[in-house]
Structure 1
């Protein structure tokens, strides 16, 4: 089944940014997204208004809300993971891994039951960094898991070339991770202790960011938005008038609007399906 509403095409919300990323939706349906080069987090409210939520946002990239309503951010200015409260006050959740600086946390997902955090850590050199290479002690680009109440993340998968987009199923049983470097997306089973197992190839396509709908369909980004069924069958491709589509989420009071961050712009698309909760 085609997931977008009949005749729907991306509607431009605004084109005033440098590079948009990391959309995350709160319980009310408002979307928060980043303009990483300009170091800002923006809010797109359910009434269609745009406003700046936070300046000097740690060069945040991927975002996701935790169960308490705090906005978690992959703050790669200093390669950290942040928790930002509703008033914009930031707390550093992860500073390093066993004393070694992360490559640059990129995207994350929070387990709906446990609150555990999964995040990807690829290496993309940034112009605002002083270092010129990743810390060799990290041993590559990996997926990490931060268990509830812990200060140090553990490696969830170290066999990927360049992990990037990540999302889990609403029931918390499965996790999807895109290896954008290898142009593949994998599906894992999530164990009771948070560990990942039974990695299987989902589709032969990588992704910068991703989301999932109530039917379990997975949305991958890059050249527009590509939608796959839970069985990995191509359902639909949504063309986006931008050089690159960075990320996507479901927005609005009914979670029935696809919100797309694409290069210097953001777009919306009305959908037949709702986002997974």
Structure 2
């Protein structure tokens, strides 16, 4: 019996790496790894893909929004003087929604590069600095508002007492605070059915899930994982991608299924773009990376 136990244990021990590798490779295309697209920037952030798979991202220190072209693979400047845009989201009409913290605003940029301020305050006070956002199927916008002191600000302290998540309902002219009690909310993403919202509290190294009510309010907060994140995305299998030390992938139960190392000191954000939205685009320090996947994004 002892020998049989040893034999079974040995077999199980040998199988563990195989199972781990199989799980480890489940979301990534075979033999694929992060590939450098370009490192001609200062600090990349806010990647977002349009319906075709073109990817827009920000270089906030240089105050530009760039565009990666699906057909040519080339990167060009889409917009200069972008009001220090950070997180981006592209709506169904092709407008870019941007968290622009130069003047603590949420703005809309049309395909013709016309800019409109959607919101610039909460209850008459300047926002901390809108950072990341997600739009629901109704056209409502959730945004995180952490405070990061910027060198281009004259102010040296926030006007608001807390760092919250806000919701701008369709057609509304003012924000509603929908998530409080966070240290420093940052990354945010919602499920395509509009029923769940993930919010990363990078200041407390935690990510939470919330249920979304019909009116856009949030309830039923649950700890998703003990990890914060700068940015995040979802794939069509419900896996959640968190950033910081490379990209860490969790299934919808909060179990880690993969870690994607990125050869940079910090990984800021991720999105799915490219053909069939099956390429993961990663913004990290001064660079943009791409990674071919077996899964794809949840939009378009």
The two structures, once aligned, show a CA RMSD in angstroms of: 0.7
Map of 2:264 onto structure 1: 242
How high is the TM-score relative to the length of structure 2? 0.90
1:213 corresponds to 2:235: yes
CA distance in 1, matches of 2:59, 2:253: 34
Map of 1:67 onto structure 2: 92
1:42 corresponds to 2:66: yes
1:77 corresponds to 2:99: no
Contact 1:67 1:115 (8 Å CA) reproduced: no
1:141 corresponds to 2:166: no
1:56 corresponds to 2:81: yes
Contact 1:119 1:166 (8 Å CA) reproduced: yes
Shift in Å at residue 87 of structure 1? 1.0
CA distance in 1, matches of 2:214, 2:44: 35
CA distance in 2, matches of 1:54, 1:238: 30
Deviation readout 1:136-164 (Å, 9 max, x if unpaired): xx221000000000111110111111000
Shift in Å at residue 261 of structure 1? 0.3
Residue 254 of structure 1 aligns to a residue whose secondary structure is: helix
CA distance in 2, matches of 1:49, 1:29: 13
CA distance in 2, matches of 1:3, 1:83: 33
CA distance in 1, matches of 2:162, 2:251: 31
Map of 2:254 onto structure 1: 232
Contact 1:165 1:210 (8 Å CA) reproduced: yes
Map of 1:28 onto structure 2: 52
Q: Give the total of aligned pairs.
A: 274
The answer to which structure has the higher helix fraction is 2
Match for residue 8 of structure 1 among 26, 32, 35? 32
Residue 112 of structure 2 aligns to a residue whose secondary structure is: coil
Map of 1:176 onto structure 2: 198
1:271 corresponds to 2:293: yes
Map of 2:155 onto structure 1: 131
Dislocated runs of 4+, deviation >2 Å? none
CA distance in 2, matches of 1:45, 1:221: 24
Unaligned runs of 5+ in 2: 1-22
Map of 1:88 onto structure 2: 113
Greater CA radius of gyration, 1 or 2?
2
